[in-house]
Amino acid sequence: MVSYGVHLFLWAERFDRTTLHLIEKAKRLGFDGVEIPLMELDLIDIDATKRELRRHDMYAIGSLGLSIDNDVTSDDENVRRRGIKFMKRCVDVMAQLNGDSINGIVYTAWGKLTGRARTEDEWKRSVEALREVCRYARDYNVTFGLEPLNRFETHFLNTAEDAVKLVRDINEPNVKVHLDTFHMNIEEKNFYDPIKLSGRLLFHMHCCENDRGIPGTGHINWDDIFRALSEINYDRWLVIESFTQEMGKIVRYAAIWRKLAPNADAIAIEGVRFLKNMADRYGLR
């Protein structure tokens, strides 16, 4: 049975004590868990977050986009080591929050564009770094989900085929594939085949409309998505990820220059209702 999550970037650019109330809000709007950004670990009050999650019977999902200072594909070994150390800290935090996954851009720096295709050296560095981090994370039952992004946000991993290859090269049991329909809409030929290709390796899904507006209001082929998810017996998270114009740095990365919905709550409320209806239609609930 699938679960429904919402990325807290929908309402706030950072997660700290001032945004703990969003856990209760997400529960009230119909979600089972929240995707928590891990980029600023020192802001997270672990004890207070645990209490809030427990109080509202909610689950924590880790979300990470590595910064250029933590780029595990960097030519600089010190930068790579810093990235590995940082991801291990992320594992520690998620374990304390009883979360079992960290998903996102964990294989290179988010937004890093080199003006060329990835190199064999970059690939090798990413494999080596993630292998070390995954081995560390195994003791904490934390799995990493590798999210392919569109070509305007990374040169490194753009398709499900890329992600499956990287997972297989890392060759650890706790590294899987994380797909996002917004990026798939740009980089894939269709939505059905990448999900089927990922198969048992698919561990996490971001369910976003083509413009990052309300799921179900654009041209994403949701029938193909849910048909494929049903056929591979997908039983993990369906997460709404979007951003509003107030999100500052995140908006610059995601290029959100116009209003996508009446407000953030509309994306959450109408979006989760749509996803639940689709899941019912295809027998995922």
Active site residues: 147, 241
- The alpha carbon of 82 is separated from its chain's Cα centroid by a whole number of angstroms, namely 21
Contact indicator for 241, 9 with CB cutoff of 8 Å: yes
d(CA 251, CA 245): 6
d(CA 65, CA 105): 5
Beta-bridged to residue 179, according to DSSP, are: 205
How far, in Å, are 31, 69, 92, 201, 216 from residue 95 at the CA level? 21, 24, 5, 22, 34
3 state DSSP class of 116: coil
d(CA 43, CA 54): 20
Helix axes 46-55 and 77-96, enclosed angle (nearest 10): 40
| Eight-state DSSP code of residue 97 | T
